[in-house]
Chain A
Amino acid sequence: MKVSKSPWMLHYDGSSCNGCDIEVLACTMPRYDVERFGVINTGNPKHADILLITGGINAQNKPVVEQIYSQMPQPKVVVAVGICACNGGVFKDCYNILGGVDTVLPVDIYVPGCAAKPEAIIDGVIQAVALLDEKRKSVREDKKEAGQ
């Protein structure tokens, strides 16, 4: 059974303007309904497979993002939603902004846009899901190697 059949997601709002957050929530609403793909918005890193971050990383939320990521069980993927999460966006040069999510975490999927469109977000999530299966495989192979 593939992990991708049941991707549970954790939505974290970095220093977003809330534009992308509203679009993320729109994905779970009747018009887009990501639950069609088994996606559940868990709100708990220990249950999540996908960490979906909107907004850039600033000095204050850096340790929080790192901690949440560390609490997620393997395999896991990170999706940066919106241009701010991708590289800092319009806030890039602010004194408190460190940059995009990739300044602290290994980002797997970038979903650009300001705000990112629901279609784009869903597309990103689906790609992330495909990646989960690959990671799952590599985790297994790592284990096998370690076993030998």
Chain B
Amino acid sequence: MKRNAPLVVAFIAGLVVLVGGFIPREPFPSIESTLIDWFMIISGFAILLGQASLLHLNITRVKEKMPNWPYYLAGLISFALMLIVGLLWGMEQTPGLLGQGDGIVKSLGAKPFDYLFTNAFIPLSATMFSLLAFYIASAAYRAFIIRTFESNLLMITAVIVMLGRTSFAQLLTGWIPDKLSFLRLPELTNFIMEYPNTAAQRAILISAALGIVGASLRIILGIERSYLGGGK
């Protein structure tokens, strides 16, 4: 029963949504709306579940003084700080338990939550994303080594696209007459991105979409059940 109930739910919900995709009249729109409501309610509770798990895990690790426990403590303190200031004074126009906190806004220049968001959270997040630039540089340095004919093609394409996406492109090839404008780097880049690149992307997308149809069908029919933890 414990194993079969989710399979029955998956089968019925999958079938109803699938059929509802083709039949626009009632009761399908209502059923779909109800399923949407359920999903959103579950999503809302899932956020709480995540926070509970996060707190439980971090508190346990700090309590047991596991390796690197100060990191988990830092996580807990940050979590509590944002939660408390958010609850007390709210954020942006939203008031908190103590109202809009005009006094504290005067001294900080913003609500404490917004102050921390702007001056701590944003720079930290942006720093993580900016790592991408460094990693792209080091990965490109390793990846574009000419070994074969194909790798040669790959490198030439990469050079054209990279140059074409810079402001130097216009400087380098802007002099090419209008008749031969397709040879200008930005035009070449657009061509590569729009045709060969998109063709390859579409091929992968289509085969992935077929994979999705197959995987969905297996799940709806209960043939695929490893996501429920079980084998056969």
- Physical interaction between A and B: no
Binding site for B on A (CB under 8 A): none
Binding site for A on B (CB under 8 A): none
